[in-house]
Structure 1
């Protein structure tokens, strides 16, 4: 049972980037229908050199206030900076990542990171607990997935994103 004031993380792996993007589009459609609240999602890929890339194709206004910071912060926690090939918003990784880190055990971080290593592409979703219910009903097509609720308030993530945005610009 999800708590109404919690942060939800979903990571699913896919055989191709196109398959991950298809589920990414499902989540965007759920948001446009009002089925999910604030969330952030990204498709994650690894290149032939083992570099991790965070692929976004939308702006913050399309999916709420988190605007790339939450998914980027999660990726920043899961992988060492040397393997992240795409720039992750530095201030957001610090502030938002700190809140996410407090909500996860080391075992969670290891499990999330290993799941992404196993796939050719992954979909990462960080959002309010309302997202968990919608994702479950949507029947996303991930080959493997992990979904966890963190003991972190979405309000804390909102505040950390606002602080990071003010530091950046």
Structure 2
């Protein structure tokens, strides 16, 4: 698989939700000026009972070709449904999650889930190589960042996402 064919996960942790949301705004701006291609993103927070909350700006995700499905699929892989505060986050992401799951090792899943769990808030961005490159250059407020390439065919993933949105 060519380097440009992969799907990239960007996860950053923050001391608070406001900082994560500020960087989410940076990602949206990068998309608006065509610095990044298709993407999906979510701000993830953890409450005092250990439940994971997913906060998405549906207006942006409806405009994006990925339709809000990819971030939900990744979170469904990383966290058991029992700690996700809303099952709605998984939505129709079953096929997309299965496709992404095939491209991730068990150690990747464990590492990513633990990484998100370390902070009070996190930003998860799923996208193509343009997302990885642009976020590398952006001045983000994250305490820690992690990037992972998921070994899946981007064209096949986009077909799954389109089917989930239809």
Q: Shorter-chain TM-score: which interval?
A: over 0.9
TM-score of the aligned structures, taking structure 1 as reference length: 0.91
1:77 aligns with 2:77: yes
What are the ranges of 5 or more consecutive residues in structure 2 without an aligned counterpart? none
What are the ranges of 5 or more consecutive residues in structure 1 without an aligned counterpart? none
CA RMSD of aligned residues (A): 1.3
Q: Within 5 A, what are the aligned runs for 1:119-158?
A: 119-158=119-158
Alignment partner, residue 91 of structure 1: 92
Preserved contact between residue 127 and residue 154 of structure 1 (Cα < 8 Å):
no
Separation (CA, whole Å) in 2 of partners of 1:34 and 1:58: 19
Q: Secondary structure at the match of 2:54?
A: strand
Preserved contact between residue 69 and residue 91 of structure 2 (Cα < 8 Å):
no
Q: Secondary structure at the match of 2:89?
A: coil
By how many angstroms is 1:89 displaced? 3.3
1:113 aligns with 2:110: no
Separation (CA, whole Å) in 1 of partners of 2:84 and 2:126: 19
Tell me how many residue pairs correspond in the alignment: 163
By how many angstroms is 1:144 displaced? 1.2
- More deviation in 142-151 or 122-131? 142-151
After superposing on structure 2, the runs of 4+ consecutive aligned residues of structure 1 that deviate more than 3 Å are none
TM-score of the aligned structures, taking structure 2 as reference length: 0.93
